Structure 1
Amino acid sequence: MVILPPDLDPELVARLGESGGGELPRRMGIEFLELSATHSVARMPVEGNRQVVGLLHGGAHVVLGESLGSISSAIHAGPGRYAVGIEINATHSRSITEGWVTGTCTALVLGRTLCTHEIVMTDDDGRRLSTVRMTNMLRDRAAD
């Protein structure tokens, strides 16, 4: 069960429920545990997300980070607005070959037009695997 803020935009709740966070996160086995604008947590299995030599693929770290940063920014954007990723980077500190990766997303800046989040990936023992930083631009939805 995902922990969500009580005042979350109902349209966003419906989209999250229908999509499971999106096609790629669902395919990679990402499980969202807690979602808010300021603090979000998700986990992902290493199995099924390894590169050719058996290590968790670096791009998998980025997918987990971007998933958390994008949803957290969308929550901050609120009704009638949406978030668009404009910059992402990752620093990989340690490799992993089995188990689960947990991403913890923390807001660095929650502005009117930009959001920046830092997402720290850790292994089952709490060791840092990678750090992702993502910036999203917030836009108004076009009128129908």
Structure 2
Amino acid sequence: MADAGLLPLPGASSRLDWSRLLEADQVSLCSMSEADQVQQALEFSKQLMVTESATLQAGEVSPALLTGKVSQLEQILMQLQFDLRKEQQDKVELQQQVQLLRRDNQRLHEESRTAANQLRRFTDWVLQSVDKRT
């Protein structure tokens, strides 16, 4: 399923500055969630393979150029994998923090209940003491 936000790659006969295209793609990836990044990278790779296949059939691209493009895609993939690992580590850390905060919250609620009971008992004692003196 193609994302509605993705534009199709130009045909095999068009000339395109691939480094600028990849640069723009990397900038747009910085503002997306990890799942969206992976999905867009897969869609981009599929579109690139189709376009490159058509270009190769037309005989317009040299193998050296394709190797450079593959290297750029591999770099993007490595960056996405690194980002994914970082996001997963961050998620684990956040889950641990949430767990600690829940424990602290539970402890504080218990302390609050205990303090309220002590205050109630003290208030009752003070009122009883005042009643006995009068």
The TM-score bracket by the shorter chain reads under 0.3
Instruction: Considering fraction of residues, name the structure with more helix.
Output: 2
Which of structures 1 and 2 has the larger relative contact order (alpha carbons within 8 angstroms, sep 6+)? 2
Instruction: Considering fraction of residues, name the structure with more strand.
Output: 1
TM-score when normalising by structure 2: 0.27
TM-score when normalising by structure 1: 0.26
